[in-house]
Structure formats: C-alpha cells, structure tokens
Structure 1
Amino acid sequence: MTQKNKSTIALIDMQSFYASVEKAANPEYKDKPLVVAGDPERRSGIILAACPIAKKYGVTTAEALWQALQKCPDLVVMRPRMEKYLETSMLITKILESYSDLVEPYSIDELFIDITGTLHLFGNSIKAVIKSIQDRIMMETGIYARAGISENKVTAKLCCDLISKKIDGGIFYLEKDELNKHIWDKPVGDMWGIGSRMQKHLYVMGIRTIGELANTPVKRLQKKWGVNGLVIWRTANGIDDSPVTPTTHAHQKVIGNGMTLPRDFREAWEIEVVLLDLCSQICRRTREKGLMGSVVSMGLGGADWDHPTGFSRQMKLLDPTNVTLDVYAAVKKIFYKHWDRQPVRRLSVALSNLSSADTYQLSLFEDTEKKRAIDKVMDEIKDRFGEISILRASSLTTAGQAIDRAAKIGGHYK
C-alpha cells in the first residue's frame, strides 16, 4: 500500500509493557500469569501491568494485588524495576529512530513515528515497514508491539487502541475517511480522552457511540465543556493538525513531585518534614534544568480512601526562584492555610510558570545569596557522591522519606 500527498503516521504500542519486560528477562515465566505490582506492605500493592494470560483470569491494571490473587492464586508477582523499563523504552525509541528522525514518545510504552519522508527508503509498503519495526522490537527486546497507522496522530491512536490491539498480527492501516466503517460503531467510552465522568454526561445527552459524538453539533459540546468539547469532537472526527515532534516534551511547563505516605501522618511537624523533602527534590531538578518558577502549587490528600478529602492550591511568588527554602516557605503558607487538621496520606509540590535562571532578582532584605550558595554546595555533593550523601537533619527523623525515595524512580523501586 502506498500513499501520495498524505502523511503516514503510526502509533507503536507495547503490549503489557512492564510485564513483557519481566517475561523477556525471565523466560521461565513465559507461559505463566504474571503481573508487576507495588509493595503490599506499604499500601501500594496495585497492579501496574498484567500479561495477557493474567488478564484471561480477570486480572486488571490498577486493581489491588490481593484482589488479583483471589482471581488467580498462581499469579507470578514481580516488583517493578523502573530503571529497566526506562532503559528498554529508550532502546525501542532508538529502533524507531533508525527508520525516521520524526519519533515522538507519547508515554513510556507508546511512540508516534512519521515515516512519510523515509518510507521510500524501506520499500514503499507501509505495512511492511511497520512489520519490520515490530519484528525488530521483538527480536531486540522480546516485547510484542502493536501499531495503528493513519494520516495523523489522532487517527493512528484510535486505530491502535480500538483495532490493532484486538486483531491478530497487531497492525492495521486506517484510512481517515473510513472512520465510519471501523471506529464510529465503538462505544464512546472506548475513545481516547473520554473518562468515566464524561461518558456518563454523554449518555445523558443521548450519545453512546463515537459516531454519535462525531455527528453531534460541535456548538452543543462546546456549550457544555468549552475547549474540551471541541477536542473530543475533533478526536471523534479524526481531525488533528499537530505534527510528530521529537521535542514535544523537551520544554517543561511544570516541575513537580508527589507521594503516597507509608502511613497516616497526623502531626504537623511530620508533614512539614515530607514537604521539605519534596521541595528539596523539585528545586534540585529545577536548578539542574537551569530554570526558576514563579508559581508554587501544593496538594494534599486525606487518609480516608472511601471519602476523599484534601485540597490543591497554588501561590504566585513575588519573583521566580529555585531556592529550596523559599519554595518551602511558600508551601508551608499554603499548607497551614488550608489543612483541616485531619490525617494525611498523600502530598505533592510543584513549581510552574518556569523561566530561565540566567538572571534573577536580588533582594535587599533577605540573604538569598547565602541560601543559593547552600543549595549549590548540596547539589555538588549529591552529584559527586549520590542523592542521599547529604541530607537535612529532618530527613533522618521517623517522618523523613528522602532515603526511601532515593531508591525509587517514579515512586517505584529501581
């Protein structure tokens, strides 16, 4: 199949990525039901990935590990190894980059590739080229990849999610003008970008399929959801002008971090310790990128999982900063203003409205330079000897989380 005057874009998706990496590393589990899950003892025993065999037993991503074990007592449970998954993701990216310089990571296990300009180098057959990519990923990583191919990113994503993942061979080419034939009869809740809450509202509006959404007057959707109404209408109609851009995620808008605590934190001093640890981490990352932030955000979640409580607030600073103690001071103001004195289980901190740290405002009233110097020395020591080579004393208390978090990537053990 060849195309003229049309873009050729594919979304490459890895099947049960974390579980597939573990099976490739442990061939003895090839024919066994396997899941990757967090540490149950720290109340994070959630299924992060389940292999197809485990899914046949009804095991699903995001359910509790104990529930999965009830469904499948013989389940092989692997602790996540985020470093390994990131390495594998980078290897897959390099495989795609050998076919085109237009490769855009969408997530750790999904990548867009635009082969419009390089297709002729590999034989002009779209499916043959994608099959070659699929085979190389399997050969070099042991992971089965699926691919949706179309004219733009939205239709490639729809194709992959709703067709390619469900057919033998895992590769499908979707013509944009054939959405009505292959996509529009699917439930609206299956469409990329439709959450359970929006699905309920669409049902009330009489919209149950993607086709019904596509044929709904866009003004009706915009009246209810504004810009989001236009976005879901464009998605249902396969409209997308955005190019595959390798640098899409190169310019960060927010630098943040959050965590679920190992137990209920009830004392203010305990919560302050964790907030300082989080501020230290995000400010260090901000300094590494040569940036500062002028808006500080803080989020807090209560301990009652059945009746969620908490808040998410932000505060505009007088001047941009990446100084740990300045950000921490702002976070404490937010915390004490909005905390309801109930037990806390989740905390998050973020810096946004980012700008270059090349120039900054000097203060006549605060010794900011001294604080900058302290941060610089701590950064240099951590760069040389490791993340926990120097810590604030508070991080060594029973409330401190810095040492435990240093052993993790994305909240999971390396």
Structure 2
Amino acid sequence: MSFYASVEKADHPGCKNKPVAVAGSVERRSGIILAACPIAKSYGVTTAERLGEALNKCPDLVVMRPRMQHYIDVSLMITKIYEEFTDLVEVFSIDEQFLDVTGSVPFFGDPVTIAKSIQQKVLSQTGVWVRVGISSNKILAKIATDIWAKKNESGIFTLPKTEVEAFLWPQPVNKMFGVGSRMTAHFARLGMTTIGDIARTPLPRLKDKFRARFGKQSDIHAEVMWRTANGLDDSPVTPGTFNAAPKSVGHMMTLPRDYTESIEVDTILLELTEEVCRDCRRKGYMGRVVSVSCMCSPYETPTGFSRQMKMPDPTNNTNAVYEAVKILFYRYWDKMPVRRVGVTLSNLVDDEGYQLTLFEDQVKSRALDKVTDKIKDRYGSAAIVRASSLTTAGQAADRSMKIGGHYR
C-alpha cells in the first residue's frame, strides 16, 4: 500500500522527490512499514518489513508517523469526487474503489477520458495521484491497476477481456490477485508458475489438485483461483457494501510486551470485551457466540489457540461477555507469555428484545452501559475506564488515540 505515503507527500511538498515511508513508531525507530512511496520501493523498502531493515536499505528514508483519521478523511474526499462521475461507486478498501461508468460515458466521454478527468480532479483537491485500471469487470480492473497502472507514467491502463491471454497469462503466479507467497509456493509444487498455467487447467482438474493438497473443502478456493486467472467476474459494482449487516464484531490487540500474569491478561481481556460490546451496542446488535484467540511467544515458534462457545442468551453486556471470555481463555491457555489476544461476538441478533433473568437486573445493566457509552462518545474512549486499565497492564488510554491499531 502506498496510499498513506501518497497522502503524506501531498501534505509535505518538500518530500516530493524523497523516499517516504509511514511506519509504526518513528520515535523509537521500531515497528513495521505501513506504506512506502515508489521512490522508497525502488530502494527495496517493502510494506510490512521492520523499520530497522528499511533504514538499512535506504538510510535517507523519511519516516512519518501514521495519521489514520486523516487518511480516512482523504479517502472519503476521493470517494465523493468519484461520485460526481457515477453513482455506482463501491468502496473496496481505504485506498481502492470500484466504479461502474457505463452510464456516464454519454456525459463525460470514454473510460480513458473519464479516468484522466478523475485523476486531475483528485490531484487538484487532495494532492494525491490516483491510478486507474479499466476493464469490463471488477477483477480485471483491479488486476489492470495492480500490475500495470501503478507502474506506468500515465497511471492508467486498459485491459480488455479479449487481451487477457496475451497480457495476463504470461505473468508470474504471485502477480495474481489473491495469491500471496504461501499460495505461490503451493502453485509451484503443483507445477504452476504463471497465471496462464492456472487458467489453462480445466476446472475439474484444478479442483482435484486442490483436494489432494488442501483437502475436500477446497473446491470453492480452486474455482476462485481459476476464475481470477481467466478474468471472470460476474459481481456488480455495489454501493453501500460496508453498510451491510455485520456477521461478527471483534477486536484484536498485539501487546507491547509479554504478559505472563493472569491479572495482566484479565485487564486486556476486559478492555477488548468492553470495546467489542460497545461496538455491538452502537450498531444495535447482541451476540450469542463469543470467540477468543491468543498467540503466545516466542514469535519464531508461537503457540496459541482460537476457540468459541455459545452463551445461554444473546447479549452485549460487557460483564456477561467477559465471564464467557475468561472461561474460554483459561480453558485453553498454555501459560506461555501472551503477545496477541482477540475477542469476537458473532451469531448477531437485534438488541431491541432481550431475555430477562432472575439473577441479574438487565434493565439496570443496560442503562449503565448506555450512560458509559454516551460519556465515551462525547469525551473520548478513555474518559471513563475500569480501574484495572490504569495499571501498567492497561492499554485503554493508548488505544483511545488509535484507529485500527495506529495513531489517528
């Protein structure tokens, strides 16, 4: 991802011709690279590598602290510009959107003309230079962007469906959308090194190969890979995709150090549970199934687990969910130092109706949750916290300044 770096370069014109990266902890010169500009990438700097390694490759690297809220704001500005050209805009991620301009051609010109107009408007209003892949469906448009538009001078590339065999098939497997280093290695063991090798394999034969390697449940994965290699995608551009009802609500935290004591772990489990339940209440859901995941040190040979259990009744009450979370965690924790923990609520239902019990005042609990939520909404997530969050184990204050684990 270079979007974060592009935003920073737009905000700091003096860095236009310098290698720029956005990284986790600039002050401590630690953490990982979240984004790097093309100049930094030319030195070999890559996303997700450690900052120290990046600085060894590029000593003149300009490292900037992430500003997640600002990146979100710029992304929303860009989306608004897209919506001036078509009402069919589907947000795919913070830096990627699909546009269907079929109905816009009579008003704004052919697709390439529209792409150039969009580029200029986004550049003038945000300072960000966007790249545009053009094709007949979403998967080919994304491939056109990732493989070609991001690397050519114009930032625009058209990949017609008729040219898939000529342009896409000769590309190495690792250039295909949805294929990472591990999947590339699997394809290599299957004798497939180019995208064309996958595309030319009859689908039944590819499914057989996947079953032999990954098991009986791999048919869907095989078909997705085969369709991608052949540039097949029937899905429409769907505005409001992120407004769909969630299937689960969860939060995960990588800890700043090893947590070895139960009292420290309890603090983190409670903070995560509070975040999850607050999100559920904000969205109007209760969950029936709670899941807990954990990764323990050392990173080289980590241990851990991911387990779930069904609660007696759906709930979004922090204390009720926390009790279930603790049961799950201590049932499976092997006492190794904890480095990452996650809590999730799923099997969601509307929170309009709820089950009364003889042993708990549900009305009072829900009223208390509502009051604390209002305080946090108005004054910030750290305005009111549990006493345990004020100990050295607590991370609530630090997390209140972050979005997605990164500083606002």
Query: TM-score when scaled to structure 1?
Result: 0.93
Would the aligned equivalents of 1:105 and 1:112 in 2 still touch at CA under 8 Å?
Answer: yes
Q: Deviations over 1:327-350 (max 9, x none)?
A: 111111110011000001111111
Q: How far apart, CA to CA, are the structure 2 residues paired with 1:282 and 1:42? A: 30
- Asked whether 1:186 is paired with 2:147, we answer no
Q: Deviations over 1:72-115 (max 9, x none)?
A: 11111100000110000000000001111111111100110111
Q: Deviations over 1:38-72 (max 9, x none)?
A: 01677961001111111121111111001111111
Q: Give the superposition deviation at 1:152.
A: 0.8
Q: How far apart, CA to CA, are the structure 1 residues paired with 2:205 and 2:288? A: 37
1:134 to 119, 123, 134: 119
Alignment of 1:157-176 (within 5 A): 157-176=142-161
Q: How far apart, CA to CA, are the structure 2 residues paired with 1:388 and 1:61? A: 31
**For residue 97 of structure 2, what is the aligned residue in structure 1?**
111
**For residue 143 of structure 1, what is the aligned residue in structure 2?**
128
- Asked whether 1:77 is paired with 2:70, we answer no
Would the aligned equivalents of 1:325 and 1:371 in 2 still touch at CA under 8 Å?
Answer: no
Letter in 2 for 1:238: G
Closer, same or farther: CA 40–172 of 1 in aligned 2, 3 Å = closer
Would the aligned equivalents of 1:43 and 1:262 in 2 still touch at CA under 8 Å?
Answer: no
Alignment of 1:195-214 (within 5 A): 195-214=180-199
Q: How far apart, CA to CA, are the structure 2 residues paired with 1:238 and 1:61? A: 27
- Asked whether 1:247 is paired with 2:240, we answer yes
**For residue 10 of structure 1, what is the aligned residue in structure 2?**
none
Structure 1 residue runs of 4 or more that deviate by more than 4 Å after TM superposition: 40-44
Closer, same or farther: CA 279–261 of 1 in aligned 2, 3 Å = same
Would the aligned equivalents of 2:380 and 2:400 in 1 still touch at CA under 8 Å?
Answer: no
Q: How far apart, CA to CA, are the structure 1 residues paired with 2:304 and 2:33? A: 25
Would the aligned equivalents of 1:17 and 1:49 in 2 still touch at CA under 8 Å?
Answer: yes
Q: Give the superposition deviation at 1:384.
A: 2.7
Q: How far apart, CA to CA, are the structure 1 residues paired with 2:28 and 2:260? A: 17
**For residue 35 of structure 1, what is the aligned residue in structure 2?**
21
Which consecutive unaligned segments of at least 5 residues does structure 2 have? 211-217
**For residue 322 of structure 2, what is the aligned residue in structure 1?**
328
**Alignment identity in percent?**
56
SS in 1 for 2:221: helix
Would the aligned equivalents of 1:290 and 1:356 in 2 still touch at CA under 8 Å?
Answer: yes
Which consecutive unaligned segments of at least 5 residues does structure 1 have? 1-14
**For residue 26 of structure 1, what is the aligned residue in structure 2?**
12
1:375 to 369, 377, 401: 369
Segment drifting more, 377-386 vs 153-162: 377-386
Letter in 1 for 2:295: G
Q: Give the number of the structure with larger relative contact order, counting CA–CA contacts within 8 Å between residues 6 or more apart.
A: 1
Residue correspondences, number: 399
Q: Give the superposition deviation at 1:406.
A: 0.3
**For residue 314 of structure 1, what is the aligned residue in structure 2?**
308
Q: Give the superposition deviation at 1:162.
A: 1.5
